[in-house]
């Protein structure tokens, strides 16, 4: 054995940590992973996978209603939240076991322990010291919880998957992707849902037209949006229900509900890792500061995934983990990760799919952009009569005619945008889109048939330009 016990020691067995570990071991490195919770991380245990399963379940209520318009009669349909959670838990346990077996099969040592950093090459794993040539921090994020009276009566995106019963009335605090996704889930199961958000519109950071289109469809489904509001406190009543004190446009009001879900963002999970002892630089929210190769200011310590607070997406963490392992042990040139034009989805109801620049970002970058968009009732709902629309938008650099952004709100948006993302990453132009024959009848064909253009221009100097 060399100077150190391990060539790579990873803290966190989520998507990024597992990928980095397996790739490094494949190059012949001695690798260990420490995980004090469950193998699989946020995505598998309390994020993408269980959430998507619940989204599938929530769709059936609308599907059963729509079926009548197509001649089907579904009598006596009922829903059991406990049954769904049992099935969901079984699938998550299967995936957790699969991840553990993948690590074992790759020759990675899995330590079900808490690990912290003592110095650039030493870690404390439970009560013993281990040494490593390289240390990777891949501990993901953790829900941000505000310090308000009665916060102990609230739940976060961690606990929401383990509720024993479906709450009849749900107050969701936060208008980001977690908030709007669980609004669709609970509403689809039959709960009354209210979203309280302090901003002027949901999905801050997304294209403004996308934000308004989703808000319109949420409201049409019966989800109540209380914008410009702030949660002041929560109290538990004798019957077990909750009273939430809200400030709405400066006026205090009380809302009765059965569950309060805090969906106010996730922060990098760096507390208790001892990174300060090794001199690792963190930013103002506790994220590990890294360069394009995942390197921190300490040469032997690296970080990937949500803990770096760059793009909090599972495929990005996986790509970063693979690139880092290849850089360290692949024997070639360092491998950077390209974070430009990364597609993403919001599994709201209806879902959102986006890739590339928003209209505002394009105008800020180029000064002028061509905008093509469509807003229509999808074919399915011409018979069902459901008041749900589809919105699609292309953002084009006026000077080069390169398509720099695509945005969609509507059924199958994430599946459609994944394909469009390839075209945008490849730098295709609006002429290339126009020359492509569409598949009819589909919503996706609109992306290659958009012809009506409007021009977006910067109306005032951007803040970046001073």
User: What pLDDT shows up at residue 460?
Assistant: 54
User: What pLDDT shows up at residue 458?
Assistant: 79
The number of beta carbons lying within 10 Å of the beta carbon of residue 9 is 28
Q: Give per-residue pLDDT as tens, 270-325.
A: 999 999 999 999 999 999 999 999 999 999 999 999 999 999 999 999 999 999 99
- Superfamily in which the 6-143+267-329 domain is placed by CATH: FAD/NAD(P)-binding domain (3.50.50.60)
Mean of pLDDT values over 393-397: 98
* 6-143+267-329 and 151-264: identical CATH topology: yes
CA–CA–CA angle 377, 172, 218 (5° rounding) = 10
Convert the chain into a string of H (helix), E (strand) and C (coil): CCCCCEEEEEECCCHHHHHHHHHHHHCCCCEEEECCCCCCHHHHHHCHHHHHHHHHHHHHHHHHHHHHHHCCCCCCCCCCHHHHHHHHHHHHHHHHHHHHHHHHHCCCEEECCCEEEEECCEEEECCEEEEEEEEEECCCEEECCCCCCCHHHCECCCHHHHCCCCCCEEEEECCCHHHHHHHHHHHHHCCEEEEEECCCCCCCCCCHHHHHHHHHHHHHHCCEEEECEEEEEEEECCCCCEEEEEEECCEEEEEEECEEEECCCEEECCCCCCHHHHCCCECCCCCECCCCCCECCCCCEEECHHHHCCCCCHHHHHHHHHHHHHHHHCCCCCCCCCCCCCCEEECCCCCEEEEECCHHHHHHHHCEEEEEEEEECCCHHHHHCCCCCEEEEEEEECCCCEEEEEEEECCCHHHHHHHHHHHHHCCCEHHHHHCCCCCCCCCHHHHHCCCCEEEEECCCCCCCCC
Q: Give per-residue pLDDT as tens, 163-176.
A: 999 999 999 999 99
Q: Give per-residue pLDDT as tens, 235-253.
A: 999 999 999 999 999 999 9
Q: Across all residues in the chain, what is the average pLDDT?
A: 96
Mean of pLDDT values over 98-114: 97
Confidence of residue 457 (pLDDT cuts 50, 70, 90): confident
Which one of 36, 37, 187, 440 is the catalytic residue? 440
- Superfamily in which the 151-264 domain is placed by CATH: FAD/NAD(P)-binding domain (3.50.50.60)
CATH number corresponding to 344-456: 3.30.390.30
Asked if residues 102 and 31 have their Cβ atoms less than 8 Å apart, the reply is: no
For the cut 50, the answer to whether the pLDDT of residue 35 exceeds it is yes
Residue 440 is a catalytic residue: yes
Domain ranges of the chain: 6-143+267-329, 151-264, 344-456
């Amino acid at each position: 054995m060399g100077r150190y016990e391990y060539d790579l020691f990873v803290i966190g067995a989520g998507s990024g940590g597992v990928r980095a570990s397996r790739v490094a071991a494949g190059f012949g490195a001695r690798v260990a992973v420490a995980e004090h919770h469950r193998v699989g991380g946020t995505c598998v245990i309390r994020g993408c996978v269980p959430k998507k399963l619940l989204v599938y379940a929530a769709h059936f209520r609308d599907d059963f209603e729509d079926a009548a318009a197509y001649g089907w009669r579904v009598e006596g349909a009922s829903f059991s939240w406990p049954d769904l959670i049992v099935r969901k838990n079984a699938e998550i346990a299967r995936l957790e076991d699969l991840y553990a077996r993948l690590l074992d099969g790759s020759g990675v040592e899995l330590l079900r322990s808490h690990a912290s950093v003592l110095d650039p090459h030493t870690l404390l794993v439970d009560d013993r010291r281990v040494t490593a040539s390289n240390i990777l921090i891949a501990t993901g994020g953790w829900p941000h919880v505000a310090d308000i009276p009665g916060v102990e009566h609230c739940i976060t995106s961690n606990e929401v998957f383990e509720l024993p019963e479906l709450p009849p009335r749900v107050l969701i605090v936060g208008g980001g992707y977690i908030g709007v996704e669980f609004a669709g889930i609970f509403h689809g199961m039959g709960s009354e849902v209210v979203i309280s958000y302090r901003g002027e519109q949901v999905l801050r950071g997304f294209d403004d037209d996308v934000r308004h289109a989703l808000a319109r469809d949420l409201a049409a489904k019966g989800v109540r949006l209380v914008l410009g509001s702030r949660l002041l406190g929560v109290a538990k009543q004798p019957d077990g229900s909750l009273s939430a004190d809200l400030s709405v446009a400066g006026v205090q009001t009380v809302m009765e509900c059965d569950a309060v879900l805090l969906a106010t963002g996730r922060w990098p999970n760096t507390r208790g890792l001892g990174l300060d002892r090794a001199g690792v630089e963190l930013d103002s929210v506790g994220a590990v500061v890294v360069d394009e190769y995942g390197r921190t200011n300490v040469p032997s310590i690296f970080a990937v995934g949500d803990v770096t607070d760059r793009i909090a997406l599972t495929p990005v963490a996986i790509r970063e983990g693979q690139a880092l392992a290849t850089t360290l042990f692949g024997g070639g040139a360092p491998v950077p990760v390209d974070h430009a034009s990364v597609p993403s989805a919001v599994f709201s109801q209806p879902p959102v799919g986006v890739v590339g620049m928003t209209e505002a970002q394009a105008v800020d970058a180029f000064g002028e952009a061509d905008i093509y968009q469509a807003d229509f009732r999808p074919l399915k709902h011409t018979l069902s009569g459901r008041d749900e629309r589809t919105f699609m938008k292309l953002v084009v650099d006026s000077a080069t005619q390169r398509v720099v952004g695509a945005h969609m709100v509507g059924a199958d948006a994430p599946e459609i945008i994944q394909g469009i993302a390839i075209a945008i990453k490849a730098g295709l132009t609006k002429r290339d889109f126009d020359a492509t024959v569409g598949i009819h009848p589909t919503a996706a064909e609109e992306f290659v048939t958009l012809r009506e253009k409007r021009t977006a221009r910067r109306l005032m100097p951007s803040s970046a330009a001073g």
